[in-house]
Amino acid sequence: MNQRLRIVKTILWGLVGVLGVVTIARFINGLGPTTGLSDAAPWGFWIAFDVMAGVALAAGGFVLVATVYIFGLERYRPFVRPAILTAFLGYAAVATGLLYDLGLPWNIWHPMIFPQHHSVLFEVAMCVMLYLTVLALEFAPVVLEHGWFGHPLFRTVLGLVKRFTIVLVIAGIVLSTLHQSSLGSLFLIAPFRLHALWYSPVIYVLFFISAIGLGLMTVAMESLISGWLLGHKIRTDLLSGLGKAASFVLGLYCIVRLGDLAVRGVLGSAFNGSWHATLFLFEICICALVPAILLSMRRVRTSITGLTICSSMTIIGMILNRFSVCILAFDRPLAMSYFPTWIELAVSLGIVAGAALIFLFFVENLKVYSEEDESDAHSVGTSSGFNPGAFHDLMPESVAGPRRYSLVLVAAASMAVFLLPDAAVLGEQSVSTPVLGVRTVEGVKVKDSNGGGVEFMLASAQTKGKSIPLMMIDGNRDGRLVFFPHENHVKELGNDNSCQQCHHQNMPFDKNTSCFQCHSDMYEASDIFSHDSHIKHMEGNEGCVKCHDDPTQVKSRQTAKACQQCHSDMIAADTFRARPAKALVGMATGYMNAMHGLCIDCHERKIKEKPGEYSANFARCDTCHGDPANADLHGAGPYSLQLVKSAKP
């Protein structure tokens, strides 16, 4: 084995190790903690790269098969087996990638039993599934030729597959035509979201032509890589033929794409200098225009450098095209940005690395390449002299390889564990939203502009009347606040003896604890029970039974006595507060829940008690929230800016 191959394999094993770790995180904790996806960007890197680009990159299989079997161009036969193997592994990688992206991957077989033939995605799913089977059968002879499969049954299968090759070939071409184009049709449903430079009524034609061009260039790239890596002879004569064909196809792609823009009358917007226009020009130049021109020159397409540059450009350009359609030019009306997390990249890279390792396994153990191609193999990189630092010189070759790869696998996996974000390990964490106390401001009482009731607003030069203290209740300081006239409530509820009706009295020597001291998170319940302080005041271990009174039960918070059984004075008889359920012992509910529970409960009670004095609206949200006269102070909500932005024509 040569040095280059060893290094490449080491890297691939490392990527697979990382994949193993992130796979566990992804399936235990779901998509939210591990990806950058959101309601505004439901499709991200995995769909764009693993599925859209993956399928297009694997188009080499059907293009080469058609060239050799249908058009009878026998000289390209050496490319067929590697191309079919790449396509097969490519589609297997697409399916694997999809399992990560699907929210409910165990239902992936549902399209078979719940078909919905109006869905483009249904057609894609069925075609990909069938084509994966066709590719497996097309590749089967390579595996079955091996000595392991000497059993007569395998011989019969081999005979059958060989006999019906042409049927498989035609089925494969039809299926590929359908789903390569349909991946484009998927986006026909989103005319308002996909930018006009990409959204075309004939997007499926563009996807199909680009897949053929890309397929040809991927086969060329693959041949160049196997030449570099495995030392196979690079057949420049054949590759130049592929290059010539690709130059025609990519040229056709440019004509159709630009022609389509011209017909739809949006060609002008490709040159208006906007971000989308720049992206479009860059994309079409590197994916088709420049490679088509370069490859039309004989000098370029017969040189290894020329071919390498052209195929890299096409591959990168076409991947970029799929990214544009899926992410970059796909408008998110909710104005949220999407950026993939490293976990998403690690999954995609890991799957590709795994597929590459399987490819190398097949190449090493089966006859994927023809004899004459392999004649030059094993000559690269092995001629280097003695290297005292090299790992493989210290132990026999057969042991060095596996050991090195296992070591890298484990090292990469453990590195990945350390790099995982908290959420990916522990699951989606609730965002803590600390609550701040109320602020008291000068306010005035005014008559409600809509008639009926009173309203409170900030005192200013314009306001008239006596100023009173107003509490601004805005626990998380998001600007959506409630003016609370504390004094009025005190007066209404019975002056000095009314505190306990709303306030707890559980802080030592306290009559009216501020709400935010215990309800310290806006949304989440917080723990307010101090076990240590109870131990201290109840003579250490002897005090356990005072609360954990049932010896048959495990001593836990749920099985202990309720707080008010001892602290009877904590809850007054005339309180409005809801009595805590047993399950919530020692926990203070979120600030928002506490406020809503207390205020709405009491307001509802007041309507019932004095229906004449209080209107039916008294317990509704806008009694406290939303003060039209001071709308700017209340803020327009967290969404206002973004919605105004997207509302622009």
Q: Which is nearer to another protein, 99 or 407 (CB)?
A: 99
- Please report how close the Cβ of residue 74 comes to another protein at its closest, in angstroms: 9
Q: Which is nearer to another protein, 108 or 407 (CB)?
A: 108
Polymer length in residues for the chain: 649
Scan residues 155-194 and list those touching another protein (CB under 8 A): 166, 169-170, 173-174, 177-178, 181-182, 185-186, 188-193
Q: Which of 24, 108, 468, 544 binds another protein (CB under 8 A)?
A: 108
Q: Does 584 bind another protein (CB under 8 A)?
A: no
Q: Which is nearer to another protein, 174 or 309 (CB)?
A: 174
Q: Does 258 bind another protein (CB under 8 A)?
A: no
Q: Which is nearer to another protein, 44 or 231 (CB)?
A: 44
- Please report how close the Cβ of residue 51 comes to another protein at its closest, in angstroms: 10
SS3 439: strand
CA atoms within 13 A on the CB side of 561: 16
Q: Which is nearer to another protein, 144 or 325 (CB)?
A: 325
- Please report how close the Cβ of residue 414 comes to another protein at its closest, in angstroms: 24
Q: Which is nearer to another protein, 15 or 64 (CB)?
A: 64
- Please report how close the Cβ of residue 214 comes to another protein at its closest, in angstroms: 19
Neighbours of 74 (CB within 10 A): 9
Q: Which is nearer to another protein, 294 or 457 (CB)?
A: 457
Neighbours of 131 (CB within 10 A): 27
Size of the site for another protein (CB under 8 A): 91
Q: Which of 156, 159, 201, 512 binds another protein (CB under 8 A)?
A: 201
- Please report how close the Cβ of residue 449 comes to another protein at its closest, in angstroms: 10
- Please report how close the Cβ of residue 284 comes to another protein at its closest, in angstroms: 22
- Please report how close the Cβ of residue 456 comes to another protein at its closest, in angstroms: 17
- Token look-up 């806006």 returns 522
Q: Which is nearer to another protein, 364 or 622 (CB)?
A: 622
Measured over all CA atoms, what is the biggest interatomic distance in the chain, rounded to whole angstroms? Answer: 103
DSSP-assigned letters across all residues of 497-523: GGHHHHS---STT-SS--HHHH--BSS
Scan residues 333-352 and list those touching another protein (CB under 8 A): 333-336
DSSP 618: G
DSSP 151: S
Scan residues 587-626 and list those touching another protein (CB under 8 A): 590, 593, 616-617, 620-622, 626
C-alpha pair distances (Å), 2 with each of 49, 334, 491, 612: 31, 53, 90, 94
Scan residues 119-138 and list those touching another protein (CB under 8 A): 119-123, 125
Q: Does 428 bind another protein (CB under 8 A)?
A: yes
d(CA 274, CA 282): 12
Among the listed residues 185, 76, 94, the one whose alpha carbon sits nearest the alpha carbon of residue 132: 94
Q: Which is nearer to another protein, 103 or 147 (CB)?
A: 103
- Please report how close the Cβ of residue 522 comes to another protein at its closest, in angstroms: 7
Scan residues 18-77 and list those touching another protein (CB under 8 A): 27-33, 37-40, 42-43, 66, 69-72
Torsion of CA 146, 152, 153, 155, to 10 degrees: 50
Q: Which is nearer to another protein, 156 or 429 (CB)?
A: 429
Q: Which is nearer to another protein, 13 or 516 (CB)?
A: 516
d(CA 45, CA 319): 11
Q: Which is nearer to another protein, 103 or 265 (CB)?
A: 103
85 contact partners, CB below 8 Å, separation of at least 6: 139, 142, 359, 362, 368
d(CA 491, CA 503): 15
The alpha-helical segments, DSSP class H, found in 104-235 are 110-113, 120-144, 152-163, 165-185, 203-230
Among the listed residues 319, 356, 73, 131, the one whose alpha carbon sits nearest the alpha carbon of residue 222: 356
Scan residues 523-542 and list those touching another protein (CB under 8 A): 523-524
Q: Which of 7, 11, 75, 105 binds another protein (CB under 8 A)?
A: 105
Q: Does 628 bind another protein (CB under 8 A)?
A: yes
- Please report how close the Cβ of residue 595 comes to another protein at its closest, in angstroms: 13
Q: How far apart are the first and last CA of the chain?
A: 63
C-alpha pair distances (Å), 213 with each of 141, 314, 317, 551: 27, 8, 11, 77
Q: Does 297 bind another protein (CB under 8 A)?
A: no
The answer to whether 193 touches 333, Cβ cutoff 8 Å, is yes
Of the candidate spans 117-125, 151-159, 314-322, 362-370, the one that interacts with another protein by CB under 8 A turns out to be 117-125
Q: Which is nearer to another protein, 43 or 154 (CB)?
A: 43
Q: Which of 331, 374, 376, 601 binds another protein (CB under 8 A)?
A: 331
Q: Which is nearer to another protein, 428 or 487 (CB)?
A: 428
Q: What angle do CA 235, 219, 382 make, to 5 degrees?
A: 55
Scan residues 142-161 and list those touching another protein (CB under 8 A): none
The answer to whether 312 touches 53, Cβ cutoff 8 Å, is no
Q: Which of 118, 163, 299, 537 binds another protein (CB under 8 A)?
A: 118
Q: Which is nearer to another protein, 411 or 643 (CB)?
A: 643
Element (H, E) at 588: strand 587-588
The answer to whether 267 touches 261, Cβ cutoff 8 Å, is yes
The answer to whether 65 touches 169, Cβ cutoff 8 Å, is yes
132 contact partners, CB below 8 Å, separation of at least 6: 88, 91, 92, 95
Q: Which is nearer to another protein, 36 or 485 (CB)?
A: 36
Scan residues 358-417 and list those touching another protein (CB under 8 A): none
- Please report how close the Cβ of residue 143 comes to another protein at its closest, in angstroms: 25
d(CA 608, CA 600): 12
Neighbours of 353 (CB within 10 A): 23
- Please report how close the Cβ of residue 314 comes to another protein at its closest, in angstroms: 24
Q: What single letter denotes the amino acid at residue 61? A: G
- Please report how close the Cβ of residue 558 comes to another protein at its closest, in angstroms: 21
- Please report how close the Cβ of residue 211 comes to another protein at its closest, in angstroms: 14
Q: Which of 7, 11, 102, 566 binds another protein (CB under 8 A)?
A: 102
Q: Which is nearer to another protein, 498 or 589 (CB)?
A: 589
Of the candidate spans 15-23, 100-108, 241-249, 383-391, the one that interacts with another protein by CB under 8 A turns out to be 100-108
Q: Which of 88, 139, 204, 359 binds another protein (CB under 8 A)?
A: 204
d(CA 561, CA 586): 11
For residue 276, give both structure tokens.
């989308």
Whole-number CA gyration radius for the chain: 35
DSSP-assigned letters across all residues of 262-320: HHHT-GGGGGS--HHHHHHHHHHIIIIIHHHHHHTSHHHHTSHHHHHHHHHHHHHHHHH
